[in-house]
Amino acid sequence: MRSSFVRVLLIGAAGRMGKAISGLANEDPKIDVIARCDLGDPIEPAMRNCDVAIDFSHVDATTEICRAASQDHKPLVIGTTGHSTEQRSTIEKAAQSLPIVFASNFSIGVNVLFWLTHKAVEQLGGNFDVAIVETHHKMKKDAPSGTAKTLAELLKATRKTASEIPIESIRKGDVVGEHTVIFNGPGERLELTHRASSREIFARGALCAAEWIISQPPGLYSMKDVLGL
């Protein structure tokens, strides 16, 4: 029988997101972070005793996380961004036998931005040029951000085009994360902007995804699925 709380293995625990998730989990009676791993820690033994693993670390950890989770049949929540095509296919392959939530952005607001962007393209049609501007803190390792790449993929799919969407990446100060989708039309311009002011929005979404994924069948899910958007 499953215990009344969700036992979480947190990977990347010493990082900015790891600390934000630990902080929120401490206040949540439904969550118990039973193990914390960071760079150099073995993942396999910690994986064995958890109900779900949450990864906000680095793409270099992806192969080992997927291998350990597959071995013990543990669901995954993957928030790390910047994966290569090969690393993404490792995640896709693992999702054939495991339930995995893989999201470039765990905030509710950004997932509504994805939905609004889709709607805007449908309504504005092909006469509008689109571009994305994203701004993050100077310590962020990947560029463009995972969220900007998701927005670009969504725009390409909705516009039914293979043409790349221009993305401007700005790295400055301690900006948690800002994304703007710009629609430039003849004589008018529409901008959709999301500004994150706290990492708690991603941490809250990741914990919500962890509670949701443990009762799902194998497959690759996004926050759209978790939120029912």
Q: What amino acid positions are annotated as catalytic residues? A: 136, 140
Map residue 69 onto helix, strand or coil: helix
Choose between 6 and 226: whose C-beta lies nearer to ligand NAD.
Answer: 226
> Which DSSP string corresponds to 70-83?
HHHT--EEE-----
Residue 119 CB partners (closer than 8 Å, separation 6+): none
Token pair belonging to 129: 């040029």
List 11, 35, 100, 154, residue binding ligand NAD (CB under 6 A):
11
Choose between 15 and 99: whose C-beta lies nearer to ligand NAD.
Answer: 15
Show the binding pattern over residues 68-107: x = contacts ligand NAD (CB under 6 A), - = does not.
-----------xxxx--------------------xxxx-
Binding-site size for ligand NAD (CB under 6 A) equals 25
Least CB distance from residue 122 to ligand NAD, whole Å?
25
Binding to ligand NAD (CB under 6 A) within 182-221 occurs at: 202
55 Cα distance to chain centroid: 10
* Backbone angles phi and psi of 187, in degrees to 5: 80, 5
CB 90 within 8 A of CB 66: yes
Question: DSSP state, 165?
Answer: P
Choose between 97 and 198: whose C-beta lies nearer to ligand NAD.
Answer: 198
Choose between 14 and 124: whose C-beta lies nearer to ligand NAD.
Answer: 14
CA angle 191-167-146, nearest 5°?
100
List 15, 75, 99, 144, residue binding ligand NAD (CB under 6 A):
15
Show the binding pattern over residues 122-161: x = contacts ligand NAD (CB under 6 A), - = does not.
--------------------x-------------------
Binding to ligand NAD (CB under 6 A) within 48-67 occurs at: 56-58, 60-61
- CA dist 206 and 57 (Å) reads 13
Choose between 60 and 122: whose C-beta lies nearer to ligand NAD.
Answer: 60
Question: DSSP state, 60?
Answer: G
Token pair belonging to 84: 């290569």
- DSSP3 helix / strand / coil % (the chain, rounded to 5): 40, 25, 35
Stretch in the footprint of ligand NAD (CB under 6 A) among 2-10, 13-21, 153-161, 162-170: 13-21
- Which residue ranges make up the site for ligand NAD (CB under 6 A)? 11-12, 14-18, 37-39, 56-58, 60-61, 79-82, 103-106, 142, 202
